[in-house]
Amino acid sequence: MTGIIKMLTTNAEILYGELMDVLRLFYGDDAPDISHFFVHDGAKFVNTVVVCGSEYSFTEEQDWKGDIEFKRYARRFAKLALYKALRTETGKSMPWGALTGIRPTKLAYGEREAGRDFVPLFEKFGVSAENISLVSDVLAAQEGIYGKEEGAADLYIGIPFCPSKCNYCSFITADIGKTGKYIGAYLDALEKELAACKGMGRLKSAYMGGGTPLVLEMKDLERVLAAAAGLIPRGTEYTVEAGRPDVFTEEKLALLKDHGVTRICVNPQTFSDKTLERIGRKHTAADIFRAFGMAQKFGFDINCDLIAGLTGESLGEFENSIESAVSLSPDNITVHSLCLKKGAKLKEEESRLFVSDIEKMIAFSREKLYAAGYKPYYMYRQKYAAGNAENTGWTKQGKACVYNVDVMEEITDNIACGANAVSKRVFFGEGRIERIGSPKDIPTYIQKIDKIIEDKRKFFGSNQFTFSK
């Protein structure tokens, strides 16, 4: 238990999690003692916060119907009250204000569906003008893609193997040197799972990620591509997170092309050789340029992932990474903010992230990408991100990735195959999402494959998917 957990008390346990999320925006382990009291009387919600002896009280009037709506407003107003109290106490404002725990775009769509403009709510929450404008632009870029279609699905295929482990990464992937012995049995299980998903209807897009799919040898890569091809009609948007530039070969790219892949990720993360070494990626900036050139020859749509705030990286190095990515002119550029995740090496080294220039990095990326003609087309935030900053996917006109929009906005079912893959069903009328996850660990996934398939059949059973026997 860290110090911060002991410093907040509230008379309303159901609000504790939300309040902690706001507290974390302002403090590390050094938070002062804070007490929170909540009372409500019909439409009146009163939140009182006491910080270091100063008392702040906020009253909101809001009609509500039913338990779900009551809890939603109770949480919303409690967060807002604590945020305002801490803003006054510390003199600091946060770029996303009191918004925590909900995707900003989902909240914005929710307001639109209720017939309201989302801007007043965001302003009330203290979201910066720049971020309100970012959300507006994302919604505009999603026009024509964003659509709730009952029964439409995206396919995910997980390849949890990598050439080495990057220090920030918490994905279940491991160094292929240690897990390579499982590849044969893993592909046997994956083929079985994919075969069981044949016959599903209305596939919108497919995504093979991981991990680093291109780390597989030709014969193994061919196996998984052939198994997937049976499910993915030609012409469907089909991304392979080819991933690290050190595993690219012309032979492998040709294989992807032959199997209908339309989009690949060539992920630099940074163009600084020093940072690449520090974070455990065994490639150089020169490898990135080489891999990119190779991918271009095959006519794929290309995405490049970058991370702002990588260990030891200066503002200048990050700026150079953005400029280098823009100079390559990929169809999509995704700018992540470094995030401290359980299971990552970085988490063992640091308990909290302090990236002094993160706001400048994000501001620079926005300025450069807008100027180069890119538009933000999806965005999301993660807990424990440096500077509470967001991750944004940028696209050239007409090149937005449908899979990313569907997954981030949670508007389609997801049929996910492989270890640690999480399938999802969206029940629109009920505003409900159900998920089912496969075991994280590769040997357990292999061992339990029959049960995994059976559970999946039940999970999608009442839907229109017809799984083969």
Q: What is the DSSP string of 301-328?
A: EEEEEEEET-TT--HHHHHHHHHHHHHH
Three-class DSSP labels, 343-382: CCHHHHHCCCCCCCCHHHHHHHHHHHHHHCCCEEEEEEEC
Give the range of 61-69, 197-205, 331-339, 461-469 binding ligand SAM by CB under 6 A: 331-339
Contact between 245 and ligand SF4 (CB under 6 A)? no
Strands 375-381, 54-61: parallel, antiparallel or unpaired by DSSP? unpaired
Contact between 186 and ligand SAM (CB under 6 A)? no
Give the range of 31-39, 315-323, 335-343, 420-428 binding ligand SAM by CB under 6 A: 335-343
Residue 400 has phi, psi (to 5 degrees) of -60, 145
Q: Rounded to whole angstroms, what are the CA distances from 218 to 55, 253, 257?
A: 66, 10, 13
Residue 196 or 279 having the CB closest to ligand SF4? 279
Contact between 325 and ligand SAM (CB under 6 A)? no
Contact between 341 and ligand SAM (CB under 6 A)? yes
From the list ligand SF4, ligand SAM, none, partner contacted by residue 301 (C-beta under 5 to 8 A by kind): none
Contact between 307 and ligand SAM (CB under 6 A)? yes
Site for ligand SAM in 205-234 (CB under 6 A): 209-212
Could you tell me the smallest distance in angstroms from the CB atom of residue 292 to ligand SAM? 13
From the list ligand SAM, ligand SF4, none, partner contacted by residue 395 (C-beta under 5 to 8 A by kind): none
Contact between 171 and ligand SF4 (CB under 6 A)? yes
Residue 211 or 376 having the CB closest to ligand SAM? 211
Give the range of 69-77, 136-144, 203-211, 291-299 binding ligand SAM by CB under 6 A: 203-211
| Helix, strand, coil % over all residues of the chain, rounded to 5 | 45, 20, 35
Give the range of 12-20, 103-111, 164-172, 435-443 binding ligand SF4 by CB under 6 A: 164-172
The conformation of residue 338, written as its DSSP 8-state character, comes to P
**Burial grade of 275 (CB within 10 A; 0-12, 13-18, 19 or more):** buried
Residue 125 or 380 having the CB closest to ligand SAM? 380
Contact between 204 and ligand SF4 (CB under 6 A)? no
Site for ligand SAM in 81-140 (CB under 6 A): none
* 249 CB-near residues (< 8 Å, 6+ apart): 214, 294
Contact between 244 and ligand SAM (CB under 6 A)? yes
Beta strands in 25-146 (DSSP E): 34-41, 44-51, 54-61
Contact between 243 and ligand SF4 (CB under 6 A)? yes
Q: Work out which of 100, 131, 212, 324 binds ligand SF4, going by CB under 6 A.
A: 212
The residue type found at 163 is P
From the list ligand SF4, ligand SAM, none, partner contacted by residue 339 (C-beta under 5 to 8 A by kind): ligand SAM
Residue among 33, 63, 30 nearest 49 (CA): 33
Task: Look at residue 437 and give its three-state secondary structure.
Answer: strand
Contact between 304 and ligand SAM (CB under 6 A)? no
Please say whether the beta carbons of 391 and 335 come within 8 A. yes
Site for ligand SF4 in 389-428 (CB under 6 A): none
**Burial grade of 279 (CB within 10 A; 0-12, 13-18, 19 or more):** buried
Please say whether the beta carbons of 19 and 8 come within 8 A. yes
Residue 75 or 336 having the CB closest to ligand SAM? 336
Contact between 158 and ligand SAM (CB under 6 A)? no
Helices 449-461 and 183-196 pack at an angle, to 10 degrees, of: 20
What are the residues binding ligand SAM (CB under 6 A)? 168-169, 171, 209-212, 241, 243-244, 267, 269, 305, 307, 336, 338-339, 341, 344
What are the residues binding ligand SF4 (CB under 6 A)? 162, 165-166, 169, 171, 173, 210-212, 243-244
